[in-house]
Chains A and B, each alone.
Chain A
Amino acid sequence: MLEVNKETFEAEVLNAGGAIAVDWWSPQCEPCKELMPEVEAMAGKYGASIKFCKVNVVENRRLALANKVLGLPTFLFFKDGQKVAELAGPEACTPEAIEAELKKLA
């Protein structure tokens, strides 16, 4: 998964085109860390058609707020620079829900 930050987000996500999934996380967020291996596995599975990025919100708080990310974990799904779907909060971010969005996006 590609680690993006406030400097690279625009180029790697907004202007990159195609299907992109962005995992917003922080080192304090236990549910985020717990999800990470499964998201990595999905990155392997869907990596050919979807680009996987992650943002550590502790270092990129403004970027998170600009994207209206105010809770963790959050997954945003982009298609050609447009946000098309979102999963926010630990209840919404189940591996099943994430995979369902990926299938729609791919």
Chain B
Amino acid sequence: MMTEIYDLIIVGGGPAGMTAAIYGARAKMRTLLIEKAKHGGQAATTEEVENWPGAGKTTGPDLMKQFREHTEHLGVEMIKEDVARVDLQGDVKVIETRKGNRYEGRAVILAPGAHPRTLGVKGEGPLRGKGVSYCATCDADFFTELDVVVVGSGDAAVEESLYLTKFCESVTMIVLHPEGTMDANKASQERAYANPKIKYVWQSAIEEIKGDGIVESVVLKHLGTGELTEMPTNGVFIFIGTVPNTEFLKDTGLALDPRGYILADPETMATNLDGVFAAGDARQKWLRQIVTAASDGAIAACAAEKYLAEEEHLRSEVLEPKEPVLAVFWSPASKESLDVLSWAEQANTAAGGTFKLARIDLYKSARLAKRYGVTQVPSVLLFVNGEVVDRLEGNFDEFTHWLTEKTAVAAANRR
């Protein structure tokens, strides 16, 4: 049975993946979205969202529900599966899931997202779910009228601390930096400072989380003096950044940075592999927000569409024709390349139309040019059965002669 090949497969159903799916569907690409758990990714467990333009003050779950409805409404095929293995190097990309299903697509957008980073201190693992938490919306309820600490000082740490104050008696932020310095945006910092329930321990880190079955205290280390103090608490919420969900992409030929983030061109989201794009938090980038994830998704989908159009053009005009193909790389800015185009057309017609002519605009098809090692215009490549058999670059003084010769060879081969 022939498997259907998707135009676009998106791995990950967070804001980046869903936005890519919306753009993909609107561009009439046959789009498949694979998400292993809850659509919305990390945003779906972020309670307060106040920087999604146009929404005012909203919540992550609400916003992600709207994303999902929007995506579904456009007819995107969505499946709930966990991707186990990928083969991204060929023209047709293969995605295999843990259930053992296999999906094929001509272009892939990787938007697997990230998960919370762990502190790596003693007691953290055994007390996870026992007072150690990485999700305030999930667990805040348990700490009603109790005291908790929050580790971190970035946007997530401050915003989740504010959320926790709705439940907890006190929220103590453990901040690495000296007094008055936090990594979060200024607006959130000001709200935190104005909230009487939030306290601070500056220039300190957690050394150990203690408790018999449930969290009872944390051991804090002052980074200036090295002094250790034990502080009783009922819960430890950890928001110290994220780790990309790219384990399944290791050793696939895809370029990752040393921390596992996908390296992609910030202009087009293209990775080092043809037809493979990256979007969202799993990409090495400067600002990780819902809005930048959505932006990545939009760019990646448009770049994927362009890639598919180029590939289709290449196949139908250059690789698949039965007759030999003369591919002329040109640019509107190079008069010489326009001359070559016109000579090629005249000479070919005069010689009885031996070749099929393909015009390729170098700048619009930069990736294609790179694939065939074309760096200048004019350049002429002769394809037979999809393979480059000859090329002419640089000096076109003898072009007509060269073309006559190739025509004779082609004619001889046909006989």
Contacts and interface: CB of A to CB of B under 8 A. Distances in A.
Interface in B229-244: 235
Nearest to B39: A34
Contacts, number: 75
Contacts of B141: 26, 28, 57-58, 61
Contact of B142 (A31, A33, A64): A64
A57 B38 contact: no
B131 interface: yes
B182 interface: no
Given A57-B141, A64-B142, A31 B37 contact: yes
Interface in B132-150: 132-135, 137-142, 144
Given A57-B142, A70-B235, A31 B132 contact: no
A103 interface: no
A70 B38 CA distance: 22
A46 B139 CA distance: 29
Nearest to A65: B142
Contacts of B142: 57, 61, 64-65, 69-71
Report the interface size class on chain B: 20 to 34
Given A29-B138, A30-B137, A88 B38 contact: no
A47 B132 CA distance: 32
B139 A72 contact: yes
Interface in A64-106: 64-65, 68-74, 88-92
Contact of A30 (B44, B133, B213): B44
Given A72-B139, A90-B135, A90-B138, A31 B129 contact: no
A73 B128 CA distance: 11
B199 interface: no
Which of A69, A72, A92 has the most B CB atoms < 10 Å from its CB? Answer: A72
B289 interface: no
Given A64-B142, A68-B213, A70-B142, A91 B128 contact: yes
B129 A89 contact: yes
A58 B135 CA distance: 16
A71 B129 CA distance: 4
B60 to A, nearest CB: 9
Nearest to A74: B129
A90 B133 CA distance: 10
A59 B115 CA distance: 29
Contacts of A55: none
Interface residues of A, number: 25
B214 A34 contact: no
A65 B131 CA distance: 10
Contacts of A20: none
A4 interface: no
Nearest to A32: B138
B215 interface: yes
B128 A31 contact: no
B61 interface: yes
B177 interface: no
B61 A30 contact: yes
Contacts of A29: 137-139
A30 B129 contact: no
Contacts of A57: 141-142
Contact of A71 (B44, B61, B115, B128): B128
Contact of A88 (B45, B61, B129, B215): B129
B38 A34 contact: yes
A28 B130 contact: no
Contact of A68 (B115, B130, B135): B130
18 contacts: A28-B141, A30-B45, A30-B137, A30-B138, A61-B141, A68-B213, A69-B129, A70-B214, A71-B138, A71-B139, A72-B138, A72-B139, A74-B129, A88-B129, A89-B128, A89-B129, A90-B138, A92-B128
